[in-house]
Amino acid sequence: MKNYQKGFVVPLLIVIAVLVVGGGTFAYFKYFKPTGPTSYKNDALVNSYPILENSDLYKDKFVSTNIPVEWNIPVKNIAIKKIQENKFSCGNKPANFIVYSSYNAGSNYIGGWYSTSVIDCGEYYFVYESGDSGPKLYGPFDLNKTTTTGQQNSSQTPSNSQNTSITLLSPNGGENWVAGATNVITWRSVNIPSKAGISIDLINADSGDQISIAAIGATTTSYAWKIPTILNGSYKIEISTQGIGKKILDESNSAFRITGKTNQISKIDSLFPSSGALSPAVITGVPNTNEIKDIKIYGSGFLTAEDGVGANRIFFSSEKGTALFGGLSSDGKTLIINQLPLSLEGKNGHEDLVPGKYEIYVRNILGKSNSSYITLTEPSTPSITVIYPKGGESLKIGSTVAIKWDSRNIPVNGPRKIKIDLVNMTPVQTGQNSSLMGKVIFENLPNTGSVNWQISSNVAPGDYRLMIHCDYPYQNDCPGGDTQETFRISN
């Protein structure tokens, strides 16, 4: 085995990366930039985040306008941070980012764009506005009860919480209402501030599923509700306050009956695909055979926009956690999960998506569907992970070190061989510029997962990183073999 020493300049890789990104940016503006006014609104999102219906309520919880896009939230002891476009984190966990509405005046205008989105952190969420005036954050809001959490403005807080109450009067249990008819929901309020909001929700008394009926002001104590024709069964009404320091609520003492056509609880017949490969963790030039891009759910009884009773909630789960998707069916027979979740929310926080069997089912105000299952496999693309040294180690010149790596889909006796570069993290002055210099310490190695390296006296003391990748002509096929932390070499 020959051991060659070659110099190379790492910035060349950076230049290539910039060209690739630049080309992607050009393609975006060439093919996707709108030429006229466009708008978008996801009305179904209000069912999960009712505060979106009343901007006056959520704007009472204004955090700040901030650039860079990062906020410290003392009440939750976390930071909300923008990682990249449409991707945020809540502390050290990824958030679920969902666009609610947007408007773009088009290429014929300067400015004139904005969007409103939800940053869902799991137990609570924020409203995020972005536009010509800069990014704005509002919240946090309780995800389960859709009300603000933390300290409130004193002008919104009831002056005498001992005498503050809200009491549902009708329907309070035992009533028989008819689907398609209009019935009046009534309640009694005591010392509820006029600036408060009132949320009216419908609860399925059998399954516990809940949707929003309306979000209105506190100046009224009744609401005329036209009952959607699809409803049939036992229900309760919950009425609650929004936007004040203490959440006050009441619900029907017992179930009342809605009589309509016999509703059909959602039923899943099949999934397509029913199995496939996970997405690669890093970009590679090799196609990922059988990669799952989206999942189509075929069946019956899925809610549509015409039903007017909220959205379908699609659960993607394992024993470790669950990811939640939502949406309406175009025909009552099809739902789509547009992409695999990045992670699952479990008891121990976020869990990575790994190969295995996952359960999919649908819930809505009519109840819960049966379950169907999908099997996820490892990506078929090659990848490399550095095992040792990967950062923090202290190595001596003249010593022998066992370099170790893990790999996926690179056969030991296959055509792809391994190349290992040693990168000096101390910038070297080259004319008017400084660069990171590196040298090849091994090439054309079989993929055995390890090799012994005697650190030559030609290696200067300093901080270094290893780059382990496939050798020419497969150098773009095997990403991931780049240590992120440095190790030290000394005499």
- What pLDDT, on a 0 to 100 scale, did the predictor assign at position 436? 52
Q: What percent of the chain has pLDDT over 90?
A: 33
Domains and their CATH numbers in the chain? 38-142 (no CATH), 163-259 (2.60.40.10), 267-377 (2.60.40.10), 382-490 (2.60.40.10)
Q: Which of 216-220, 250-254, 367-371, 480-484 has the lowest mean pLDDT?
A: 480-484
Q: How confident is the model at residue 21 (pLDDT cuts 50, 70, 90)?
A: very low
Average pLDDT score over residue span 344-356? 85
Q: Which of 125-139, 205-219, 269-283 has the lowest mean pLDDT?
A: 125-139
The amino acid present at 174, given as its one-letter code, is G
- How far apart CA 277 and CA 451 sit, in angstroms, is 31
The yes-or-no verdict on residue 25 having pLDDT over 80 is no
pTM of the model: 0.54
User: SS in 3 state form for the chain?
Assistant: CCCCCCEEECHHHHHHHHHHHHHHHHHHHHHCCCCCCEEEECHHHHHCCHHHHCHHHHHHHEEEECCCCEEEECCCCEEEEEEECCEEEECCEECEEEEEEEEECCCCCCCCEEEEEEEECCCEEEEEEEECCCCEEEEEEECCCCCECCCCCHHHCCCCHHHCEEEEEECCCCCEEECCCEEEEEEEEECCCCCCEEEEEEEECCCCCEEEEEEEECCCCEEEEECCCCCCEEEEEEEEEECCCCCCEEECCCCEEEECCCCCCCEEEEEECCEEECCCCCCCCCCCCCECCCEEEEEECCCCHHHCCCCEEEEEECCCCEEEEEECCCCCCEEEECCCCCEEEECCEEEECCCEEEEEEEEECCEECCCEEEEEECCCCCEEEEEECCCCCEEECCCEEEEEEEEECCCCCCCCCEEEEEEEEEEEEECCEEEEEEEEEEEEECCCCEEEEECCCCCCCEEEEEEEEECCCCCCCCCCCECCCCEEEEC
Q: How confident is the model at residue 33 (pLDDT cuts 50, 70, 90)?
A: very low
The angle formed by the CA atoms of residues 242, 245 and 249, to the nearest 5 degrees, is: 50
380 Cβ partners below 8 Å, 6+ apart?
277, 286, 288, 289, 290, 291, 409
- What pLDDT, on a 0 to 100 scale, did the predictor assign at position 64? 62
- What pLDDT, on a 0 to 100 scale, did the predictor assign at position 285? 66
Q: How confident is the model at residue 359 (pLDDT cuts 50, 70, 90)?
A: very high
Compute CA 313 distance to the chain's CA centroid, rounded to the nearest angstrom: 15
- What pLDDT, on a 0 to 100 scale, did the predictor assign at position 444? 92
Pick from 83, 76, 63: nearest CA to 135: 63
- What pLDDT, on a 0 to 100 scale, did the predictor assign at position 267? 95
- How far apart CA 223 and CA 163 sit, in angstroms, is 24
Instruction: Look over the chain and give the mean of its residue pLDDT values, rounded to a whole number.
Output: 79
Average pLDDT score over residue span 186-193? 91
- What pLDDT, on a 0 to 100 scale, did the predictor assign at position 71? 76
Other CB atoms within a 10 A radius of the CB of residue 201 amount to 21
pLDDT 10s digits, 64-120: 655 556 777 766 777 888 877 778 888 878 888 888 887 765 433 333 467 888 888
Average pLDDT score over residue span 49-61? 73
Q: How confident is the model at residue 439 (pLDDT cuts 50, 70, 90)?
A: confident
Average pLDDT score over residue span 466-491? 84
- How far apart CA 479 and CA 19 sit, in angstroms, is 18
Q: Which of 55-59, 231-235, 384-388 has the lowest mean pLDDT?
A: 55-59
- How far apart CA 125 and CA 363 sit, in angstroms, is 21
Average pLDDT score over residue span 277-286? 72
- What pLDDT, on a 0 to 100 scale, did the predictor assign at position 437? 65
The yes-or-no verdict on residue 431 having pLDDT over 70 is no
- What pLDDT, on a 0 to 100 scale, did the predictor assign at position 291? 87
Average pLDDT score over residue span 230-242? 92
- How far apart CA 109 and CA 36 sit, in angstroms, is 9
Rg (CA), the chain: 29
